[in-house]
Amino acid sequence: MIRAGILGLAALAAATAMATPPSLPLPNDAAIAGQAMPATLAEYGFFADAAAQVPADRVTPFRLNTPLYSDGAEKLRFVYLPAGAKAKADGENLLGLPVGAALIKTFAFEENGKRRLIETRVLLHRADGWLALPYLWNAEQTEAKLALAGARVPVTTPTGEKIDYRVPNKNQCKECHGLNGVVTPIGPKSRNLSAEWLAGFAKAGRLDTIPAVATRLPLWEARADASTEAAARAYLDVNCAHCHRPGATASNSGLDLRWEQDDPRALGVMKRPVAAGRGAGDFLFDVVPGHPEQSILAHRMNSLEGGVAMPELGKATRDPDGIAAVEKWIAGL
Amino acid sequence: MIRIAIAAALLAAVSTPALAATHQVAAGDGAQTRLQEALILAQPGDEVVLGEGRFMLDDGLSLDADGVTVRGAGMYATVLDFTGQQGAGEGLLVTSDNVTLRDFALENPHGDGIKSKGADNIVYQRLRVTWTGGPKETNGAYGLYPVESTGVMIADCEVSGASDAGIYVGQSKGITVRNSVARFNVAGIEIENSRDAIVEGNMVTGNTGGILVFDLPSLPVMGGGNTIVRNNLVVANTTPNFAPKGNIVAGVRRGTGVMVMANDGVLVEGNTIVDNPTSGVMVVAYPMKFDDKTYNPYPRNVVVGENIVSRVGYDPQIDGKDQLLAAFGGSLPPVLWDGLSQDGTVALKVDPSMTGWTLGLAAQGGGISTAEARPGPLKVGVPAVGFALTGAGAPAELEARLVP
């Protein structure tokens, strides 16, 4: 049943990519690639119907096989390419998106049986690099305004927890999206996109070639069918490795949780913490094989306390599924 | 030709902003949003000026614009109060270069106080980070925390209550920590995996350990050394260790004055080291096993010059302390060496005015107080007169940014 749903979603995404009706509005290239920081999301024209998250022309929805956990928020992801532009495949790595392209991600929670949009984050590829901006939706769901300083919004998560959901400020975007000092996309790596979607994107003329992917990140909902290691490593790659890698926010920790990293010590196995402070709890190593209950990695994923909790941003609730996947992996090491 | 002229004009426009702006931010309603917006909108050369009073903040702040000065009305007049902080790993995060932070305080950040990462040529002056409940394991880890940076000046600051280190400089070079106060932290001042540091004129008291200079394995930046620790007051560091035990500092013995571990070229002189019950100056190899082939666990070329030392080593947190105290006549000599050195290098030289003892360990990797210890008086060489390390300290340009 889950599988059918996923396939349906992929098919929908592919269909949208390939057969966009000509009557749809076009996004505003000047707003996307210009110098200004537009005050409202509407100025970009990414959506034919923003409240319903119906994309405009040349705006293609996609999903990630294993997504980043954000307090259980539903996420709607889109990529925009200007007229005539193509994304460039780079093996199983991040798709190369040209200047003028944009990535759009809306975060939503269910409220009274309806989807409530909270924020839409945009990543704009401008001539001087990528710019990340957060837009906060109003209560009426009629408009999303630039929220440079971020915000907190009370929401109820899918598991019924009432939280002050954090909309990041502009700088905090860079804490996750910063690599070697510049803002960079994280999500759309070929290995974390479905083969069907990539094929459809290429067939629609938006991708230069269908990239070869040796090992694809497992579909999160179907992780039971994947190996324990693949599920856990995919989760760590997507949720942690944008900081825990060379050149990124947590590079000084020496912990490298990327999918492509295969040195056990870099992955935290019997690695002592450096500047974990009290985040280490009473534990000595990031990962103790066979013992998730003694591993700092799991300890910090399980915590909600500032200074201990990991990730530091974008988390007010524990992710029981992610924790279970990582703990199972550590237990089996 | 015209093209070149235009390019030059553009370059000039970029490098010298027409007019630096001042962004005033007052305490009061909406301080979180107003202050964070000011930090985001600041351009190179701008100042963000914080008014007097208490800014009640519920999230971490961050600055990512080069060349910005953030200044308040004084380290007791402008207080960024993070007691109600909900998110982020630090109170203020700086990720841009040539930033100056001055004249304000942070209280009770849930993680670190001010962290600057990859932020070259940063000045911290007259900043205070205080965990107001005193030493507690639940306090944040580091007060002032520059890491992976070249050019760090910390002057006239004050940090208390950090559950790891009050002032922690890691994986950096060109560092000065001066005239600052670190008290009631686990470690007062820590220089880790860093080079070319001067730690001088500081008051370091009430911590578990005073001033620590060391290298750890398996980090992106290693090979620390060329560091001077001089003219500090290292007094009454008697607080029991309250660090969570996974931390390297959880192994610091209560009452350690100055500790040098696994570093190359460290000068300790002119300090006043009083009432540190474990040791005045401790020079040791990294005590644990490691498998990083690029890591050198031994102290090399450490010089302990003349220091004023009294009332140390009277209650050492070391196995077999009763026998040791009896053997040394009631208290241990000021300088403790574990006895380990890299083959072919000199671990330590000590001025004749100082006495010392050695644990006489036979091998690295078994901890610093093992059953194999063969304690005895210290017999090491005498340093050359005028031993001086060169090239240490923050660049002169940072000195010039300090205000009286």
pLDDT of residue A124: 97
Do A230 and A162 form a contact (C-beta atoms < 8 A)?
no
- CB contact under 8 Å between A178 and B95, yes or no, is yes
Do B224 and B192 form a contact (C-beta atoms < 8 A)?
yes
Backbone φ, ψ for residue A105 (5° rounding): -140, 120
- CB contact under 8 Å between B216 and A249, yes or no, is no
Between CA A301 and CA A240 the distance in angstroms is 10
pLDDT band at A319 (very low <50, low <70, confident <90, very high): very high
Helix ranges, B337-395 (H): none
Q: What crossing angle do the helices spanning A170-177 and B31-41 adopt, rounded to 10°?
A: 60
Res B139 pLDDT > 70 = yes
pLDDT of residue B220: 85
pLDDT of residue A14: 45
pLDDT of residue B1: 40
Taking only the tens place, the pLDDT of each residue in B180-229 is 999 999 999 999 999 999 999 999 999 999 999 999 998 888 899 999 99
pLDDT band at A173 (very low <50, low <70, confident <90, very high): confident
- What are the chain A neighbours of B42 within 8 Å (beta carbons)? none
Number of C-beta neighbours around residue B120 at 10 A = 20
| Closest CB to A171 among B40, B168, B243 | B40
pLDDT of residue A172: 86
pLDDT of residue A208: 96
Q: Is A293 helix (H, G, I), strand (E, B) or coil?
A: helix
| Mean of pLDDT over chain B | 92
pLDDT band at A288 (very low <50, low <70, confident <90, very high): very high
Q: B13 in contact with A at a CB cutoff of 8 Å? A: no
Cα radius of gyration rounded to whole Å, chain B: 22
Q: A275 in contact with B at a CB cutoff of 8 Å? A: yes
Structural tokens at position A103:
């990535």
Buried b (16+ CB within 10 A) or exposed e, A73-82: bbbbbbbbbb
Identity of the amino acid at A4: A
Q: Which H/E stretch holds residue B130?
A: strand B122-130
- Look up the pTM and report it: 0.88
Q: How far is A158 from chain B (nearest CA, A)?
A: 20
User: How many Cβ contacts (< 8 angstroms) between chains A and B?
Assistant: 144
- What are the chain B neighbours of A305 within 8 Å (beta carbons)? 110
- CB contact under 8 Å between A306 and B111, yes or no, is yes
Look at B306 and B370; give whichever has higher pLDDT.
Answer: B306
pLDDT of residue A243: 93
pLDDT band at A9 (very low <50, low <70, confident <90, very high): very low
For residue B33, the 8-state DSSP code is: H
Q: B32 in contact with A at a CB cutoff of 8 Å? A: yes
Look at B243 and B280; give whichever has higher pLDDT.
Answer: B280
Residue to mutate among A169, A182, A244, A287, with most B CBs inside 10 A, is: A169
pLDDT of residue A279: 83
Q: How far is A126 from chain B (nearest CA, A)?
A: 18
Q: How far is A261 from chain B (nearest CA, A)?
A: 15
Between CA A15 and CA A10 the distance in angstroms is 8
- The alpha carbon of residue A189 and the mean position of all alpha carbons in its chain are separated, in whole angstroms, by 11
| Closest CB to A278 among B39, B109, B163 | B163
pLDDT of residue A181: 84
Res A12 pLDDT > 80 = no
CA within 13 Å, CB half, A62: 29
pLDDT of residue A2: 41
Going by C-alpha positions, the residue among B340, B342, B343, B322 that lies closest to residue B332 is B322
Taking only the tens place, the pLDDT of each residue in B106-131 is 999 999 999 999 999 999 999 999 99
Please tell me the least confidently modeled range out of A4-18, A216-230, B52-66. A4-18
Res B14 pLDDT > 70 = no
- The alpha carbon of residue B19 and the mean position of all alpha carbons in its chain are separated, in whole angstroms, by 36
CA within 13 Å, CB half, A177: 26
End-to-end CA distance of chain A: 32
- The alpha carbon of residue A225 and the mean position of all alpha carbons in its chain are separated, in whole angstroms, by 22
- What are the chain A neighbours of B142 within 8 Å (beta carbons)? 275, 277
pLDDT of residue B18: 57
Rounded to 10 degrees, the C-alpha dihedral A63/A67/A73/A76 comes to -20
